[in-house]
Structure 1
Amino acid sequence: MSERHLYIHVPFCARRCAYCDFSIAVRPQVPVHEYLRGLRAELALRAPADKWIIDTLYFGGGTPSRLGPQGITALMTVVAEFATRAPGAEVTMEVNPEDVTPESAKAWIDAGINRFSLGVQTFDASVLKWMHRVHSVEQSTLAYDTLRSAGANNISVDLIFALPATLNRDWREDIEKVLTVDPEHVSLYGLTVETGTPLQRWVDRGTAVPVGDDSYSQEFMEAHEVLTSNGFDHYEVSNFAKPGFRSRHNSSYWSGAAYAAAGPSAHRFDGTTRDWNIKPYAAWLEAVTAGTLPTEGREDLSYDNRATERIYLGLRTTDGLSLSEVSDLSTVHAWRDAGWASISNETIRLTAEGWLRLDSLAADLTLSRSNF
């Protein structure tokens, strides 16, 4: 299976957010040239001799926008040594509001970035402070307007829901503010408590209390109802898009396509094998500088593993899961009767209510398959 999708991990951040367990490197001064030398070294080890031909390119992090305008231009040049973008390729960059200026926005677009994922998270100033975000509410709206003025016509906004009740965050107000700024795409993520994060320490001390399932479900369904009634397609459990603006790169993951990747903690998949890189930036840099692959682990997927993944990935999008993958139709008929799924054209699709039960429903199908 040929990789048509490329992910590049840029680990740098100004500060670790309270909930974040991603591979990041907090640096007051970003070592742009050092990072680019390391990335070039890894790509030289991984890319085919005749280059990848890619339909999507995604710069995630971390905070890619921390590389600045010249850094992103140089990054695009490095990637072009090893990958050729197909006509109409989607090129996404994750951006934090505080990094966006008229100069940087123009430089990024001139370099070839044609889709921006803006890390807003909330429009509540006190909640931003609690999250350890370094931008302000004003910077979020200014960043959006600046990208638009520079010519960006494909912007996604990230929000986090299901925050502790003691923060008194008005979730409906955040959703309505998103409608006011009017992006092409919205990603919503429920807050989770990850090991080793400041949030976990707060929960362990009792100074932060995670919301219960009822509050989580209420906020998820409220977002679903408001956004879909305003022209957004809820096409994946966490993602909403206006017509024609689904994330093509992330959709490749959900469809089971092969993808290439480079950078600290980056994961790759060739259709049967998944492997991933060393997580710490310094260790990754040491490996690639020495001319060795920075691979930390590898998983060979069995037939049953791939079947399990097809079930889970199929259920998480509105593309759905073919009924040919289902051994016990009574299971999905029960979901339909409960309002958790619909069945049409030999395909099962979960409803928003069903997505709230995604993990358990996928596990039910996997179990029923193994019993046949």
Structure 2
Amino acid sequence: MAGIYIHIPFCRQACHYCDFHFSTSLKYKDEMLQALLREIKLQKSYLNGETIETIYFGGGTPSVLEGDEISRIINTITELHTVSSGAEITLEANPDDLKADKLKALRGTPVNRFSIGIQSFFDEDLFWMNRVHRNHEAEASVKRAQDAGFENITVDLIYGYPMLSDTKWKQNLDKVFELDVPHISTYSMTVEPQTALASFISKKKQPPMNDQQSAEQFMVLMDAMQAHGFEHYEISNFCKPGHYSRHNSNYWKGVKYLGIGPSAHSYNGNTRTWNIANNAKYIQGLEKKTIPAETEELTEENRLNEYVMTSLRTIWGLDLDKLNQIAKGAADQLSKEAAEFFEREWITQKENIIYLTSTGKLYADHIAAELFF
């Protein structure tokens, strides 16, 4: 079992908070598509023949691709790999791209899941973020996708930024519940270096983010999701029973995956590889049938820390037996370091599994960092 991630490095407009790799020019889209297809072929042996259970188009904004372009990528994958008949194939999309004609074209592809970047249902918030779409497009895009026969939909929302009052946050959540989608991903606004938002804050054109506001809105989020029957299966992700993101869940469970495209990462259990985050150099490399990338051999410590970081974030928790499989005696060492978090009731344990409590989820990154080997 393995997954494939395809990075589409194009956006029509740069959001003020985003530090992902992308270009706002689509001038070299055709050349990029050819490079992606070449890399898929060059990397055909990376996953050692394992069955592909998930394909994920991320970015950037993958919905800038046409239906036939998406099909060419998927067809190339299926020619070189065994793809499960029930594979989850996700396309990240901006609401403004999901017009009726695009949805009709996408129905002709194997794509069976959408991740729609809504972020907010308030126009003033979307303008502040520099999003392309507006409120009416956000709501309409979900309804159009559902009408077109796409039922497996997740939407993204952001909280913890100055313009978002608790009242508005609850209204955003209520709107998503009203749309009856089975999965929701939510993220606290973070200020990444070298973004427009970071610049605005440093120049005092915008106030800094407020950690207390983020914590309170996260608590509101957890309560609302529980009340509406959603499982909190990962810090940022909630779903109706049985609607986990299979692709992202595999990341957290340490399943192998191949990343295609500029800035994409790959993982095979022993090494981690990342492609150059430069469109021109990526295309130039693939034209010469070489992949401009770097590889890191994962040490025992790396593998322990990655497992701690990813497993603690999930509903499945941190398995002490699995720690000992990575390194003998690791479970005892971690248990000693975790004592203070048990005392604070930030974590709990059932048999050999350690879980975050509701309060502990507020401090997930801190707890993981303190438990690193």
TM-based fold match above 0.5: yes
Question: Could you say which residue in structure 2 is the equivalent of 1:339?
Answer: 345
Match of 2:57 among 43, 56, 59: 59
Q: Are 2:12 and 2:24, in contact at CA under 8 Å, matched by a contact in 1?
A: yes
Give the Cα separation in 2 of the matches to 1:32 and 1:52: 30
Selected match of 2:297 from 278, 297, 300? 300
Match for 2:298: what amino acid? L
C-alpha displacement at 1:104, in angstroms? 1.5
Q: How far does residue 167 in structure 1 lie from its aligned partner after superposition?
A: 8.2
Aligned to 1:257: 255
C-alpha displacement at 1:225, in angstroms? 0.7
SS of alignment partner, residue 291 of structure 2: coil
8 A contact 1:184–1:245 mirrored in 2 = yes
- Matched-pair contact (CA < 8 Å) for 1:52–1:82: no
Q: Which residue of 1 aligns with 2:355?
A: 349
Indicate the residue corresponding to 2:308 in structure 1: 311
Deviation at 1:139, TM superposition (A): 0.6
Q: Which of 327, 332, 337 matches 2:332?
A: 327
1:168, CA displacement in angstroms? Answer: 8.9
- Equivalent of 1:75, from 73, 76, 86? 73
Partner of 1:119: 117
Q: Which residue of 2 aligns with 1:364?
A: 370
Contact 1:12 1:30 in 2 (8 A): no
> Given that residues 30 and 67 in structure 1 are in contact (C-alpha distance below 8 angstroms), is that contact kept between their aligned partners in structure 2?
no
Partner of 2:266, secondary structure, is: strand
Q: Which among 45, 51, 60 is matched to residue 48 of structure 1?
A: 45
Residues 200-219 of structure 1 aligned to structure 2 (within 5 Å): 200-219=198-217
Amino acid in the other structure paired with 2:309: Y
Say which is worse superposed, 176-185 or 163-172, in terms of deviation.
163-172
- Between the aligned partners of 1:339 and 1:183, the Cα distance in structure 2 is 33
One-letter code aligned to 2:103: A
Cα distance in structure 1, aligned partners of 2:132 and 2:109:
26
Moved more, 99-108 or 137-146: 99-108
The alpha-carbon deviation at position 203 of structure 1 amounts to 0.8
Instruction: Give the alignment's TM-score, normalised by structure 2.
Output: 0.92
Deviation at 1:97, TM superposition (A): 0.4
How far, CA to CA, are the matches of 2:22 and 2:84 in structure 1? 30
**How many angstroms apart in 1 are the aligned matches of 2:280 and 2:165?**
36
**Matches for 1:36-185 after TM superposition, within 5 Å:** 36-48=33-45, 53-165=51-163, 170-185=168-183
CA displacement at 1:307 relative to structure 2: 0.9
Q: 2:326: which partner in 1?
A: none
Q: Which amino acid aligns with 2:142?
A: Y
**How far did residue 277 of structure 1 move?**
0.4
Deviation, 1:210, is: 2.3
Asked if the contact 2:125–2:163 (Cα under 8 Å) also holds between the matched residues in 1, the reply is no
Q: Distance in 2 between matches of 1:133 and 1:122?
A: 10
Structure 1 unaligned residues grouped into runs of 5+:
none
User: Offset of 1:330 from its aligned partner?
Assistant: 5.2
Task: Please state how far the C-alpha of 1:354 moved relative to its aligned partner.
Answer: 0.8
For residues 172-229 of structure 1, what are the alpha-carbon distances to aligned partners after superposition, in whole Å with 9 as ceiling and x for unaligned? 1111111111211000111111111110110110111222221111011110110111
Mapped to 1, the partners of 2:254 and 2:215 lie a distance apart of: 28
Alignment partners' CA distance in 1, 2:369 and 2:135: 40
Helix, strand or coil for the counterpart of 1:111? coil
For residues 166 and 48 of structure 1, what CA distance do their matches in structure 2 show? 47
**Larger CA deviation: 312-321 vs 161-170:** 161-170
Identical amino acids, percent of aligned pairs: 37
**Could you say what secondary structure the match of 2:308 adopts?**
helix
Whether the aligned pair in 2 keeps the contact of 1:127 and 1:167 (CA below 8 Å) is no
Q: Give the aligned partner of residue 225 of structure 2.
A: 227
**Aligned in 2, Cα 1:115/1:333: closer, same or farther, shift over 3 Å?**
same
Deviation for aligned residue 1:133: 0.6
Specify the SS of the correspondent of 2:193: coil
Report the 3-state secondary structure (helix = DSSP H, G, I; strand = E; otherwise coil) of the residue aligned with 2:63: helix
* Deviation for aligned residue 1:340: 1.6
1:298-342 CA-to-partner distances (Å, cap 9, x unmatched) read 211111111111111111101001234432535545434433222
TM (norm. structure 1) is: 0.92
**C-alpha RMSD of matched pairs (Å):** 2.0
State the SS of the aligned residue for 1:194.
coil
Q: Distance in 1 between matches of 2:178 and 2:199?
A: 35
Distance 1:317 1:5 in 2: 19
Q: Which amino acid aligns with 1:364?
A: E
For structure 2, the 5+ residue unaligned runs are: 324-330
